[in-house]
Structure 1
């Protein structure tokens, strides 16, 4: 018999709703740090590409209230998540308009801002590149001449001596033969521009170095543990001496998944030990100093048989990752593995290039590149349907990938239900039925698309959770995922409550603090409810087993007869038996011999998808299992 769920699957009020709708939630900028708080401002480059000939900070240093002026010579280290190609402050050249050339820490933001205006920088202008097509030309100026010396992840295929930070190739079957055998060939070329995340809360960080060298940061971030890791490596600090606290976040959308200005705030704090230092982007700075959605130019070529079956695809994607590919490189990688769209194609040729330009840095953005390349795939499918006389929906049904068929990198497709999605959406909008507008100046048209998405996580991505009981039988759930508005805190509370037989009012989910909360990779890729949820479930099961063990030992009732419900332990064979958690989860249970069994109940759990493998043949993209799971869908307008 299927066990009835009592909490999961039932409506519940969000745990954080009262704080948010009453404006009581304290975001990073709302936190109070007392009179010792210092403020930081940065000097931004007016040029997209230029050598730094000299920097004169002498006048800025003389301004009353200035505590420190920082340039690249003070912090020459490189940093980054997948590819360490970013400078805290540039040493020899700037690579985009807005790149931070120097930072000033002062007693007020106004003084810091005025001091920045007193810094004199001499530049030698260099040729600029703003289009990925220009970036890959043989005679293009190198934006990162030292690319070959950067530290990179082993799955990245950087091309030193070029502006290609990463190239993901996929070669399945024989595309030349596939196109020769095709009855119809359709091609298209597309361009998707950069887009800013425009979170309501701009990037902000408050950093403090204690006088014994310990760094504490309060950041608006999707990835506190990732930021701790990068901070430790970038500044040469042991991980145990870096603490990242993550208050409620005012929007992320992928733009706060990696690390950017936070390392500058840390540099400012290191120059002023004992003082918290606040760095906050203005809305203008947010547009050119923060990461953007990766731009794309792509070329799609599809070969079809007369019956509508796809037999060959050539898809070349030239991603504009801006002046740093440290996070955007994974967008390029993930989309390379999936650039067929949700269709079975026996012969596939994919090139996905991460192209350096002198545009703003690019990063994760909702959809992680899938919506961008899908525009080209779906537009070409519509062209093919028109050219061959097929209904666009029917052409998608014919080619929809089915369970067991090989994806682009030739791993069998997981169960998906794509055809069912297509049919349901087509029925919902009454596809094929002509709609007429009452306004003679307007028309009503219908469009259809099929899409898929797979989380682009590292193969060793993991989550963990702690659960601890208090004297009244309530629990604190410690995780490091972030609630970006998706209801993460409530979801974790419901999972824990379900396993432990608790009512939801007995559960509190704590916000991340890397000193206290266990590891979480990042809150990205639509994965955290699944990944962290499994960790919470396992932590709750761990606590549950300890509870049952204590009751069995104290009351000599077999664990198979015990269950958790209504904030306590009950027995299937003794209707009146009920021990509230508050009676024993801290102090234990006294036995008939006046001895005690038990103690404070703690649960721990971890989760990692153990079947993924990111290491593939760089020439073919085959030989691994880089994606966890594909989800599919269809949409219409």
Structure 2
């Protein structure tokens, strides 16, 4: 068991702070990684340098701290002859355990994620797999890394939504979280359709425009499915409440006896039903002959519950962040000892998303996260000399390509519900790239016994480390 941990982080903010301070704070909150550590001393510093401004990037400081933590964990396992997967299972944070800020951890499926990630690359057969490498100049290695990330945001980061019915019973849904390829607006339509009991195809999510769209804090922090999703759910419930109250009065039946499905309000224990299209605009005729109702418009809002700042003296607080998304990743790699080249053969991944609103969208996040994580691990590097960026174009700034990607990527979506999430959901956007680099670093050590202490782990660095090891 881990009994204590001391960490110091220095963040190169560049010439101006921009988001540097926020990333510095986020890394301090999560400084132990997803492990239960009863004794912690963590310092996180934001440093001004003569470099370009360090802005927010996918993972918001978490890829960097896990790059260090996860390699230290593996180093401990190596020295103590412990299995890295089992060690992580033994020390993974669990429900009710205290994290570094004093907050109690909510229910999480982290241990299941570790088990699933290991299963996907047949961790128990790794020694056998290493023998299958037929090239005498290449060695195979297996690596594992875990991760956690909380939405980094202030306590007042709110969301709002407006939902209005049209004459054909279609719905115009207004939100202001931006669609940047992550599938957010699709998820919002799904949440609204599920709550209202209407076909998904009848919901049109309007393109956000601050001239008419309701307020949204920011499209950041992997928070929209959770925060904006809650606002949409609130708006859908508001609209459904109006509809059910009207029908209950017209039918002289308790609201509890009503449900909705496929665009109809249905009496649970009776034969009566009425289409939304017949009453969401023009109302419904009461037994007295009086028409009641009118256009249905639902309004929803959400703000993180019970989040507060930390005490400036103690660094402690009951709820510094809203929640953590946890996960794990495993890799099998092949290392060419003559060139230093690393090839990723297999990837196993698992993430606890609370509830997968759209599993296909999350699949895209997983594969894209692996690609981005591989770019960080093996290719991407900003070269700065005397305050000048030397590789300022994509001619010289190397990115991962489809040819570099492994053909075998398997993943599992673990669903331990988030208590205050829409249908139990929490975000899983940035998280999928966080464990890739440390998993590859640990696999590199497993294969050839060397560690590269700076990213990216280029072939040149790996080859130099292999030669240095052989010369000792």
TM-score, structure 2 normalization:
0.66
Q: 1:465 touches 1:518 (CA, 8 Å); kept in 2?
A: yes
The structure that has the greater radius of gyration is: 1
Are 1:457 and 2:147 matched, yes or no?
A: no
Aligned equivalents of 2:317, 2:117: Cα separation in 1? 35
Give the CA deviation at 1:382: 1.6
Are 1:376 and 2:75 matched, yes or no?
A: no
Aligned equivalents of 1:351, 1:461: Cα separation in 2? 26
Are 1:497 and 2:193 matched, yes or no?
A: yes
Are 1:595 and 2:290 matched, yes or no?
A: yes
Aligned equivalents of 1:592, 1:396: Cα separation in 2? 66
Aligned counterpart in structure 2 of residue 366 of structure 1, from 38, 41, 58:
58
Aligned equivalents of 1:572, 1:635: Cα separation in 2? 46
Give the CA deviation at 1:593: 4.2
Which digits, 9 at most, give the CA deviation of each residue in 1:256-300, with x for residues without a partner?
xxxxxxxxxxxxxxxxxxxxxxxxxxxxxxxxxxxxxxxxxxxxx
Partner in structure 2 of residue 513 of structure 1: 209
Give the CA deviation at 1:578: 2.8
Which digits, 9 at most, give the CA deviation of each residue in 1:230-255, with x for residues without a partner?
xxxxxxxxxxxxxxxxxxxxxxxxxx
Are 1:630 and 2:311 matched, yes or no?
A: no
Are 1:319 and 2:11 matched, yes or no?
A: yes
Which digits, 9 at most, give the CA deviation of each residue in 1:569-607, with x for residues without a partner?
2223432x3322222211212335443201110101111
Are 1:571 and 2:263 matched, yes or no?
A: no
Are 1:335 and 2:20 matched, yes or no?
A: no
Are 1:407 and 2:99 matched, yes or no?
A: yes
Partner in structure 2 of residue 473 of structure 1: 169
Aligned equivalents of 2:119, 2:249: Cα separation in 1? 59
Partner in structure 2 of residue 607 of structure 1: 302
Aligned equivalents of 1:447, 1:413: Cα separation in 2? 26
- After superposition, the Cα gap between the structure-2 partners of 1:391 and 1:591, relative to the gap in structure 1 and judged at 3 Å, is closer
Q: 1:343 touches 1:399 (CA, 8 Å); kept in 2?
A: yes
Partner in structure 2 of residue 346 of structure 1: 38
Q: 1:553 touches 1:597 (CA, 8 Å); kept in 2?
A: no
Runs (4+) off by over 4 Å? none
Aligned equivalents of 2:295, 2:85: Cα separation in 1? 59
Partner in structure 1 of residue 436 of structure 2: none
TM-score, structure 1 normalization:
0.49
- After superposition, the Cα gap between the structure-2 partners of 1:375 and 1:551, relative to the gap in structure 1 and judged at 3 Å, is same
Aligned counterpart in structure 2 of residue 392 of structure 1, from 84, 89, 101:
84
- After superposition, the Cα gap between the structure-2 partners of 1:345 and 1:555, relative to the gap in structure 1 and judged at 3 Å, is closer
Aligned equivalents of 1:337, 1:350: Cα separation in 2? 9
Q: 2:103 touches 2:320 (CA, 8 Å); kept in 1?
A: no
Aligned equivalents of 2:269, 2:319: Cα separation in 1? 48
Aligned equivalents of 1:617, 1:413: Cα separation in 2? 19
Give the CA deviation at 1:453: 1.2
Q: 1:340 touches 1:408 (CA, 8 Å); kept in 2?
A: yes
Partner in structure 2 of residue 617 of structure 1: 311
SS in 2 for 1:604: strand
Aligned equivalents of 1:384, 1:573: Cα separation in 2? 63
Kindly indicate whether structure 1 or structure 2 has the higher relative contact order, using CA contacts under 8 Å at least 6 residues apart. 2
Structure 1: which 5+ runs fail to align?
1-308
Give the CA deviation at 1:335: 0.9
Give the CA deviation at 1:624: 4.3
Q: 1:460 touches 1:610 (CA, 8 Å); kept in 2?
A: no
Aligned equivalents of 2:283, 2:90: Cα separation in 1? 63
- After superposition, the Cα gap between the structure-2 partners of 1:424 and 1:584, relative to the gap in structure 1 and judged at 3 Å, is closer
SS in 2 for 1:363: coil
- After superposition, the Cα gap between the structure-2 partners of 1:591 and 1:617, relative to the gap in structure 1 and judged at 3 Å, is closer
- After superposition, the Cα gap between the structure-2 partners of 1:546 and 1:374, relative to the gap in structure 1 and judged at 3 Å, is same
SS in 2 for 1:320: strand
Aligned equivalents of 1:479, 1:337: Cα separation in 2? 30
Structure 2: which 5+ runs fail to align?
332-472
Aligned equivalents of 1:566, 1:400: Cα separation in 2? 43
SS in 1 for 2:123: coil
Aligned equivalents of 2:60, 2:146: Cα separation in 1? 17
- After superposition, the Cα gap between the structure-2 partners of 1:458 and 1:394, relative to the gap in structure 1 and judged at 3 Å, is same
SS in 2 for 1:310: coil
Q: 2:104 touches 2:318 (CA, 8 Å); kept in 1?
A: no
User: What does residue range 143-292 of structure 1 map to in structure 2 within 5 Å?
Assistant: none
CA-based RMSD of the aligned residues comes to 1.7
Q: 1:405 touches 1:412 (CA, 8 Å); kept in 2?
A: yes
Count of paired positions: 327
- After superposition, the Cα gap between the structure-2 partners of 1:556 and 1:400, relative to the gap in structure 1 and judged at 3 Å, is closer
Give the CA deviation at 1:557: 3.2
Q: 1:316 touches 1:350 (CA, 8 Å); kept in 2?
A: yes
Partner in structure 2 of residue 562 of structure 1: 258
Give the CA deviation at 1:361: 1.7
Q: 2:153 touches 2:221 (CA, 8 Å); kept in 1?
A: yes
Which digits, 9 at most, give the CA deviation of each residue in 1:301-333, with x for residues without a partner?
xxxxxxxx2222111111011122232211111
Which digits, 9 at most, give the CA deviation of each residue in 1:147-190, with x for residues without a partner?
xxxxxxxxxxxxxxxxxxxxxxxxxxxxxxxxxxxxxxxxxxxx
Aligned counterpart in structure 1 of residue 117 of structure 2, from 398, 405, 425:
425
Aligned equivalents of 1:636, 1:519: Cα separation in 2? 40
